[in-house]
Copies of this chain bind each other. A is one copy, B any other.
Amino acid sequence: MRGRVVDGQQGIDGLMDDIGRRARAAAADLGFASAKAKAAALIGAADAVMRRQDQIIAANARDLDYGRDKGLSAAMMDRLALDEGRIGAIADSLRAVAAQPDPVGTVLAEWDVPSGLHIRRVRTPLGVVGVIYESRPNVTADAGALCLKAGNAVILRGGSESFHSSGALHACLVEGLRAAGLPEDAVQMVPTRDRAAVSAMLRMTDFIDVIVPRGGKGLVGLVQAEARVPVFAHLEGICHIYVDRAADPAKARAVVLNAKTRRTGICGAAECLLVHRDVAATLGQQIVDDLIAAGVEVRAEGLRGSVPATAEDWGMEFLDMKIAAKVVDDIDEAMAHIRRYGSGHTESILTEDAAAADRFFARLDSAILMHNASTQFADGAEFGMGAEIGIATGKIHARGPVGAEQLTSFKYLVSGDGTIRG
């Protein structure tokens, strides 16, 4: 796939308008496509990924060259790189989505009303989903697959770094659609690196029903400033972990270490440790010692071995071997800190006191609240949802891990027998 040359904002608007129209037309057909056809398209795409492995690796090599020229960090280059193992994982993920139950047409509820009508509430596709993401090429396959599973057409706009890799994966999805007799326009990729395409997508209210933005602060800011299309917000994962005075020491030490260090680059990694004052000098200090021994930089006040925390450390998404830490007077101060600095993603309380856990669950309002568990479990697969597009931090429509079910809407089907209203 080549970057299509388009002329300024007007050219982009024309291009995107055309993509939007095609997506809308494809969505009309997809809305009643059979579960079998959709699954066949996904399996066909997985087969194509395996068959085209060499092409995908060649496309990825071009992206890696581009990334080196741009001076991407080692972490960014690692996210971008594809090898046989990662390509196999992409194909497996497509097959896993194919094997999930099809959400469309499920009767969510049904009941009779006194007028004699029978009412059913059934799942429907949303329509057209726009996904705006950054460097990981596998998002192309996951997002495309989940949208298709839910009967939606999708417009994918990946990061410029992964342009060729994403294009090669997109070609596999199209091959699967074609073989299954579904419209090829069901999964489209924006064929230009021009950022004006993102702005255009954010305003395409006639053609896009919802935007799923996955990315850093720059993208989130652009979306907040410009979006006219509804958005499933995916903010940062500023996850907190609170060690209560009634925490079990062994569990707390294991869970905090896991929450911070298992993988530091994922959105479910803990970024801030809060410790009840009564156990700060004992368990709290042990946990800090554990973290430091594991190579984590602890930014805190009054905990041995830590470096002094600054104001910027609260609410910081380090995505690194760093953690902010704070001693709090009680659970309410911990919750106030979380409300102020959290991003509504995932928070965990470590305690053997059921009342404290209940208070934490009732009074905080993040997408995911945990008790005696590692924040690293904030993940669609760990929740049993198969793949995910991401973890939504907003409260409208989708929240937490966004899988195929969260990409649906519903309608009411009302059956009568010549029933009139009195």
Contacts and interface: CB of A to CB of B under 8 A. Distances in A.
A245 interface: no
Given A209-B396, A377-B117, A396-B397, A367 B411 contact: yes
Contacts of A251: 417-418
Contacts of A28: 339
A368 B412 contact: yes
Contacts of A248: 418
Interface string A343-375: 000000000000001000111011111111110
A115 interface: yes
Nearest to A395: B409
A396 B231 CA distance: 9
B396 A412 contact: no
Contacts of A75: none
Given A396-B409, A421-B374, A414 B368 contact: yes
Interface in A126-141: 126-127
A293 interface: no
A31 B231 CA distance: 24
Interface in A253-269: 254-255, 258-259, 262
A231 B228 CA distance: 10
Given A224-B205, A397-B397, A418 B117 contact: no
A418 B250 contact: yes
Interface string A320-343: 000000000000000000010000
Contacts of A44: none
A376 B414 CA distance: 12
Contacts of A240: none
A212 to B, nearest CB: 12
A382 B254 contact: no
A412 B362 contact: no
A415 interface: yes
Contacts of A370: 413-416
Given A230-B396, A255-B419, A384-B111, A377 B414 contact: yes
Contacts of A127: 365, 395
A420 interface: yes
Interface in A194-234: 205, 209-210, 224, 227-228, 230-231
A15 interface: no
Contacts of A383: 113, 119, 412
B361 A395 contact: no
A205 B416 CA distance: 42
Given A31-B365, A262-B421, A371 B254 contact: no
Most buried by B among A339, A369, A396: A396
Given A32-B363, A363-B31, A418-B248, A413 B254 contact: no
A397 to B, nearest CB: 4
A396 to B, nearest CB: 5
A421 B258 contact: yes
Given A113-B382, A209-B395, A397-B397, A412 B254 contact: no
A35 to B, nearest CB: 13
Nearest to A262: B421
A124 interface: yes
A31 B416 CA distance: 39
Contacts of A412: 367-369, 383, 399-400
A386 to B, nearest CB: 12
A255 B377 contact: no
B395 A399 contact: no
Given A250-B418, A262-B420, 7 more contacts: A113-B383, A254-B420, A258-B421, A367-B412, A373-B414, A377-B414, A395-B409
29 contacts: A117-B377, A117-B382, A119-B384, A126-B395, A127-B365, A209-B395, A230-B231, A250-B418, A254-B418, A254-B420, A255-B419, A258-B420, A258-B421, A357-B415, A361-B413, A367-B412, A369-B411, A370-B414, A371-B413, A371-B414, A372-B416, A373-B414, A373-B416, A373-B419, A374-B420, A376-B420, A395-B409, A399-B409, A400-B411
